[in-house]
């Protein structure tokens, strides 16, 4: 079944103490309220174990922002999917445009990461999206379908059905320039059609496709009301509990 999900991506923000404070507060705030979506907090590696312990008996999921493309061994500074899973985390963001752009993560590397995440029972939140020049050249569909094909479409149908997708137009990330509700719906419907072509309608209908890029408490409701937008991957607005709760409320009528 397709799930509605609001996932925070803290990126490189918050000390360990700040992260712990945040999740304690979030836990309290959400305990008093019914949410109509799954809530996930994706944190830097250093927070994972503490945050997972605090959120253990709640419905709030925990995820990493990355994992290595190697199983284990002499890879100084890397953190494997097995290590992420051992903290209690259940999700991992992969293919974020910042990782692709600043850390040279290629489609092939991302394919390896997705396979390792799945082998460790982590749900990949796989990010795709075009940069501004590609949108201006009307190449967004081509870019996004290439990203899907190159990193995900060698997965079996069973494995693909465990992946969550996040459409994050790069020009909307951290810029305050949110995609319009129509732009988001149009792209999400296109993504679902590409998935249907490859894996069939049933799997496509059950795939959660999140929107990311300047999603905030003021625009979340409109974005999430689209039939093919199944939630959000939230950067800036996931750093304060009140803002994050405001986005989660986008699913409350």
Nearest to ligand 13P of 69, 216 (CB atom): 216
Which of the ranges 84-92, 131-139, 140-148, 230-238 carries the binding residues for ligand 13P, by CB under 6 A? 230-238
The neighbouring-strand residues paired with 8 are 41, 234
47 flagged as catalytic: no
Binding of residue 213 to ligand 13P (CB under 6 A): yes
Contacts of 128 (CB under 8 A, 6+ apart): 95, 143, 144, 147, 148, 165, 166, 167, 168, 191
96 flagged as catalytic: yes
3-state secondary structure 152-219: CCCCCHHHHCCCEEEECCHHHCCCCCCCCHHHHHHHHHHHHHHHHHHHCHHHHHHCCEEEECCCCCCC
Supply 29's token pair: 């705030």
Binding of residue 147 to ligand 13P (CB under 6 A): no
Residue nearest to ligand 13P (CB): 235
For residue 237, the minimal CB distance to ligand 13P (Å) is 6
For residue 86, the minimal CB distance to ligand 13P (Å) is 24
For residue 200, the minimal CB distance to ligand 13P (Å) is 28
The 24-63 site mask, x for binding ligand 13P (CB under 6 A), equals ----------------------------------------
Binding of residue 130 to ligand 13P (CB under 6 A): no
Please report, as ranges, the residues that interact with ligand 13P according to CB under 6 A: 9, 96, 168, 173-174, 212-215, 233-237
Q: Point out the residues that are catalytic.
A: 96, 168
């Amino acid at each position: 079944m397709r799930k509605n999900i609001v996932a925070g991506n803290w990126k490189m923000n918050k000390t360990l103490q700040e992260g712990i404070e945040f999740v304690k507060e979030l836990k309290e705030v959400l305990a008093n309220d019914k949410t109509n979506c799954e809530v996930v907090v994706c944190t830097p590696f250093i927070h994972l174990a503490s945050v997972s312990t605090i959120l253990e008996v709640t419905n709030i999921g925990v995820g990493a922002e990355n994992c290595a493309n190697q199983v284990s061994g002499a890879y100084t500074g890397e953190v494997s999917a097995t290590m992420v899973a051992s903290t209690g985390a259940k999700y991992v963001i992969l293919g974020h445009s910042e990782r692709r752009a600043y850390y040279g993560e290629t489609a092939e590397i991302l394919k390896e990461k997705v396979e390792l995440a799945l082998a460790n029972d982590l749900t990949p939140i796989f990010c795709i999206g075009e940069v501004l020049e590609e949108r201006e050249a009307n190449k967004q569909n081509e870019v996004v379908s290439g990203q899907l094909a190159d990193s995900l479409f060698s997965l079996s149908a069973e494995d693909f059905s465990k992946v969550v997708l996040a459409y994050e137009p790069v020009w909307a990330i951290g810029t305050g320039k949110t995609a319009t509700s129509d732009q988001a719906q149009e792209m999400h419907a296109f993504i679902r059609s590409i998935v249907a072509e490859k894996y069939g309608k049933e799997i496509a209908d059950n795939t959660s496709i999140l929107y990311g890029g300047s999603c905030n408490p003021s625009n979340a409701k409109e974005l999430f009301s689209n039939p093919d937008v199944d939630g959000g991957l939230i950067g800036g607005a996931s750093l304060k509990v009140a803002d994050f709760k405001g986005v989660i409320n986008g699913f409350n009528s």
